[in-house]
Structure 1
Amino acid sequence: MLYLLSIFTLFSASFSNPDVPKKTNLTVEVHNVRTLKGAVYVALFKPGKDFPEGKPIEGKKVDATHERVQTTFSVEPGEYAIAVYHDENGNGKMDKRMFGIPKEPYGFSNDFRPKLSAPKFGDCEFSVSDGGKTIRIKLDKISG
């Protein structure tokens, strides 16, 4: 009996290792997908990364099959920011006009709407707790 108790204690200790970071779910809902073609790209950034045009810590590609699409990241609790764009023509990149103005719909966490330049991380920053989080981002409708 003591032998079984020792094995159980050893077995359960391996599941509560404090050195292993806890992960939780971050669900991102992207609203206002205006054309049901192409794909929506969702880029996840941590502080100190080159937000929003640098390399994200993780990215997801979701087919644009509905006016609202979603994806989920498995993350450690902490601070994050998200940049999203809808690649309507399926060429795998954000098409831009003169002076770098986006041609395709885009959005950021906190539904931040930049005026004359790309947003800073702090403009779009949000926290994810141990209980996870769901955020919603509305794509800007681009005219022209």
Structure 2
Amino acid sequence: MRHNPKSLNLPLFTGLLAFGCSALSADLQIDISNAKQSNGLVYFALYDSAESYEEREMREGAISTESDTPPSAVFTGLPPGDYAITVYQDVNANRKLDTNLIGIPNEPYGFSQNAMGAMGPPDFTAAAISLSADDETQVINIELRN
């Protein structure tokens, strides 16, 4: 019986490809400080470029603040690159960031690098963190402001 050598290498190549791809990703853990204990949620948004940050195209999630443990979230399987994270705590559980008449948040909020903008949110470069392929898990802390 004759074997085609190319077909024998396919499982090996597929296995190496899968192993190689997993080595090119990392996890990003976001720890939040100064969260108020409430019935609301802490909302996270992860942006992978200045364009996605400006267009509000993001991966997002939410976590409860009912426990005594500070909120934390993990984004898994991220490719190396620059990321910006925005966070806000929905204290009154109405599923939105409440602001005053001129748009200043009335609820706790924060950005990666604890960046602040002069008139509005900081730009992507001010809030960006770099995630490399060498990072198995990178932990950042965001302090909520109000």
Compute the TM-score of the two structures, normalised by the length of structure 1.
0.81
Q: Report matched runs for 1:4-43 at 5 Å.
A: 10-17=10-17, 20=21, 22-43=24-45
Task: Give the 3-state SS of the residue equivalent to 1:85 in structure 2.
Answer: strand
User: What 5-or-longer segments of structure 2 have no aligned partner?
Assistant: none
Instruction: Single out whichever of 19-28 and 100-109 deviates more from structure 2.
Output: 19-28
- What's the offset of the Cα at 1:52? 6.2
Q: Determine the C-alpha separation between the residues in 2 that align with 1:129 and 1:77.
A: 5
- What's the offset of the Cα at 1:55? 2.6
> Do structure 1's residue 63 and structure 2's residue 64 form an aligned pair?
yes
Q: Could you say if the C-alpha distance between residues 34 and 53 of structure 1 is closer, same or farther in structure 2, counting changes exceeding 3 Å?
A: farther
Q: Determine the C-alpha separation between the residues in 1 that align with 2:54 and 2:35.
A: 20
Q: Could you say if the C-alpha distance between residues 48 and 73 of structure 1 is closer, same or farther in structure 2, counting changes exceeding 3 Å?
A: same
Task: Give the 3-state SS of the residue equivalent to 2:125 in structure 1.
Answer: helix
Instruction: Single out whichever of 10-19 and 41-50 deviates more from structure 2.
Output: 10-19
Q: Determine the C-alpha separation between the residues in 2 that align with 1:106 and 1:78.
A: 24
Instruction: Find the counterpart in structure 2 of residue 105 from structure 1.
Output: 108
Query: Identity over aligned residues, as a percent?
Result: 28
- Bigger share in helix: 2
Instruction: Let me know the Cα RMSD of the aligned residues.
Output: 2.6
User: What 5-or-longer segments of structure 1 have no aligned partner?
Assistant: none
CA contact (8 A) 1:95 1:103 kept: yes
Q: Determine the C-alpha separation between the residues in 2 that align with 1:52 and 1:137.
A: 20
Instruction: Find the counterpart in structure 2 of residue 134 from structure 1.
Output: 139
